Amino acid sequence: MLNDTLTEALNEQMNYEFYSAHVYLAIAGYCAGESLDGFANFFTVQAEEEKFHAMKIFKYINDRGKKVSLSGMDTPQNHYRSILDAFEHAFKHEQEVTNRIYHLSDLALNDREHATMQFLKWFIDEQVEEEAMFDSIINKLKRIDQDSNAFFMLDAEFAQRSFTPPTAE
């Protein structure tokens, strides 16, 4: 059974996932303001993924017979020096999410809360993918530097990105 400390930590993470969606929508707004619609789409899709993550935790808390507790959120950063700066900010944000998921996992492990440990495995795997994706994009952006053709090809590629929630739990 989930104790109060673990329930509170899960609620905090759920709220942080909603905040993550807010962060990515702010970056999408920055990109749209720069007329980079593909990059804006990339971050809008990323926001959808974060909302999915939050709702996954929302459902888990309810499924375990505990109460969901929503809270307010901080204002995300809305201005960046460049697209590279925006992606570096997003990468740091994902690293913070990873640290938070690890903390949750440690709490579950200490409580011998096996169901929660299993539940959080999905998030740990997801964070490996998220960090690798942002790291790869940052490396591409650094390589293309001033090559406007490559930059706009990447923008066009990101315009095709979409989010389909996973069907297997």
pLDDT tens sequence for the chain (169 residues): 789 999 999 999 999 999 999 999 999 999 999 999 999 999 999 999 999 999 999 999 999 999 999 999 999 999 999 999 999 999 999 999 999 999 999 999 999 999 999 999 999 999 999 999 999 999 999 988 767 778 778 878 887 888 888 776 5
Say if residues 36 and 83 touch (Cβ distance below 8 Å): yes
Report residue 113: phi and psi, to 5°: -90, 80
Burial grade of 31 (CB within 10 A; 0-12, 13-18, 19 or more)? buried
Enumerate domains of the chain plus CATH numbers: 4-159 (1.20.1260.10)
